[in-house]
Every structure is written in C-alpha cells, then in structure tokens.
Amino acid sequence: MYNTPKLSVVGAGPGDPELITIKAVKALKSAKVVLYDALINRELLEYAPQAEHVFVGKRKDKHRYSQDEINELIVKNALEKGHVVRLKGGDPFVFGRGSEEITYARSKGLETEVVSGITSSVAVPANVGIPLTQRGTSESFWVITGTTSQRKLSNDVRLAAQSTATVVILMGMSRIAEIAEVFSRFGKEDTPVGIIQNGTTVNEKAGFGTIRNIVEVVKNKKLTAPAIIVIGEVVKEANALQQVFHNVKSIPEQTKFIDADAV
C-alpha cells in the first residue's frame, strides 16, 4: 500500500484499547515498524503483528531516547523499511510533540499523515461522568500542561484560575500544591477538583475534593502520575460523587462535596 517512505503519527487514545479509531488500526496493520510511547496500551500492538515494535517511551526523568534520537529513528526506519507508525498516547497533537515529528520527517522527504486520537483531556473526565461543559454551569474549558518545557508551572494556569471555565490540567501532579495555591489566590478555595489516575484503564482510581483540600486528598489516596486534574463546578457531576450525594441528601451540597473523598 505504501511505496514510498512514510510516517504515520497515530493517536492511541487515553488507555482503553477499545478507544482507538478504525483509521489508527488500519495504519497499524500496514506498518513495518511501530515506535510506541510509554502510556499506550500494549494490546494495541497486536494490530501490527507483522511490524517491528520499538519502545521509545519517555517518563518523568527517564528518557529511553531523546526527541532528536526519536526523529532520527523515524527517518532511518522509514528509509530502510517503508511505513513507520509513531504510536502516541491520547492525541498526538495535544502535548504529544507530534507536529515536531511530522515537520522533521517532511524535511527529510518522507510522506506523512496524522491520525487523530481520542484525547485523555476529554475522555478521562467523561469516563467518570464529568462533562467539561454544561449548560448553566460551564460554557468553555481550558486544557493546560502542568509543566512547561522550562520545567515551570504554565502561566496559563493563573489566567484560567480567573475564568469560570472548566480547567483540565495534564502532567500536573508534581505541581498540585502550586496549582492549588494559584486558584486560592483568586478566591477559588471551594472550587471542586477531581483527579483521575490511569483513566479509562483497569487501574483507574480517582480522588475528589476542593482547591482547599485537594493536596491532602492526593496524599491520602496516594494518587500519582499519570493523572488528569479537573477543576470546576462540573466535577460535582462525577459518578462517584453522585452516588455519595444521593445517599446523604440532608447534608448541604458544599459540605457533601468537601467530605466526598473520605467516603
């Protein structure tokens, strides 16, 4: 099918192997080499039994390959073997550096395509019943990286904290205290927060609280990366919290929410 060296940058979705697109599966079935990341579900590699599988994952402070080395691997394998699939968690154009890989491959004469994936920023909250927008509650949402390329908290967190939008933060667990401090500075201490670790997978776990107590919730529930942080009134719609509220109707709503993580 592919007569020229080609790179397909493919989104693997948020973790559940069923949350992958048909187009992504077709790309995997035609691949000669699959370069895959740490957060992809390994079951997806079964769609490419004919291909060589190469792990190039990067986790916090543990990089098997630098980005430059990954770029070189893409080109080398495409020139030698044909179709290379770069399989990346979520959507490759949402904090996935997919555009950098596409740009580099094109500069070396490779044919390229992007296969969008279901982004964890939307799918993970949805999986626990949190709508990012809701009529009368939230008209928009921000998706922000918790840590910039300079290893600092994004300045956009400060801007988002001043809005009424739902705020979704990826790669922010190591900075949860900083994030809470920023929101507190703008009078958002009672704003609901949900944190979902390993979302959409069998290892999923979550904790709920408010800006005021979320650092303690994280500590008590031993929540770690990879996790999605959702901040906003829509967090009250979470499945787990709805069950708590249903069973404790006599308690004022705000009190119920603050105590939900202890149930």
Q: Give the residue numbers annotated as catalytic, written as ranges.
A: 37, 58, 171
Alpha-carbon distance values, 63 to 37, 56, 57, 94, 261 (Å) = 11, 8, 7, 20, 34
Bridge partners of 9, per DSSP, are 86, 114
User: Residue 66 carries which DSSP code?
Assistant: -
* Encoded amino acid at 235, one letter: V
Burial 227-251 (b: 16+ CB within 10 A, else e): bbbbbbebbbbbebbeebbeeeeee
Q: Could you tell me if 129 and 24 are in contact, meaning their C-beta atoms sit under 8 angstroms apart?
A: no
Residue type, 209: G
* Residue bearing tokens 């973790």: 15
Query: Read out DSSP for 128-140?
Result: TT--S-BTTTBS-
Helix or strand holding residue 177 (H, E)? helix 176-185
Question: What is the secondary structure of 218-241 as a DSSP string?
Answer: HHHHT--SSEEEEESGGGGG-HHH
**Dist. CA 237–CA 158, nearest whole Å:** 25
